[in-house]
Structure 1
Amino acid sequence: MYFDAEPKRDIRDFFDMEEPLRNFESALNKGKLVVVSGLRRYGKTSLILTALNKMNVQYLFLDARLLSAVTMISIND
C-alpha cells in the first residue's frame, strides 16, 4: 500500500524522519518536556508512536479524530 492514513508505529514504516526521531528520543531520555508541533499530516503522531515503540515505553493512545463523530448532549437538553 502506497499511502495509509493511520499513524505509523514501526520504524520500518516511517521514512525520512531519522533526525527528528533521534532528537525526540534524546529529549525524552533527558526527562525533558517535549512539544511536537508542525503542519497537519506531517507525521507528528507517527513520530511520537514510533519513538515510544522503539524505546519500549508503555503509553495510552487516544485518537481524538474519533471524537468529532460523537454527539454531545448538554444538561439543558
Structure 2
Amino acid sequence: MNYFSPEPKKRKEDFFDMEYEWSALDRALKKGKMVVVTGLRRYGKTSLIMTYMNESREKYVYLNCRLLPSVVSLNSFKRS
C-alpha cells in the first residue's frame, strides 16, 4: 500500500494517526446522531468516513458534496 496515494483510504490497516477523530465519530454515531465531517482540505476526512463505515458494516449514506450544484451551500443544511 502506498500511504501517500491521493486516493482516500478504505481499510483501517491503511489508515493511521486519527484515533481521536475515529473515537469521536464512533461515539456520535452510536448515539444515533447525524454526523457532518468538516476540516481542512487533504486532511483525511473522506478516509476517516470510508474506513469507519467499511469497518462498521452498518448501512450508511455517503454524500459527496462536491457533486452538489454550486447554488447549494453548507448553510442550506443548518437548522432554522
Please state how far the C-alpha of 1:59 moved relative to its aligned partner: 3.9
Partner of 2:31: 30
TM-score by length of 1: 0.71
* Cα root mean square deviation, aligned: 2.0
- Asked if 1:47 is matched to 2:43, the reply is no
Partner of 1:7: 8
Provide closer, same or farther for how the CA distance between residues 63 and 4 of structure 1 changes in structure 2, counting only shifts above 3 A.
Answer: farther
TM-score by length of 2: 0.69
Q: Which runs of 5+ in 1 are unaligned?
A: 68-77
Structure 2 Cα separation of the partners of residues 12 and 53 of structure 1: 12
Q: Share of identical aligned residues, percent? A: 55
Q: Which runs of 5+ in 2 are unaligned?
A: 68-80
Structure 1 Cα separation of the partners of residues 25 and 32 of structure 2: 11
Q: How many residues align?
A: 66
Greater Rg over alpha carbons, structure: 1
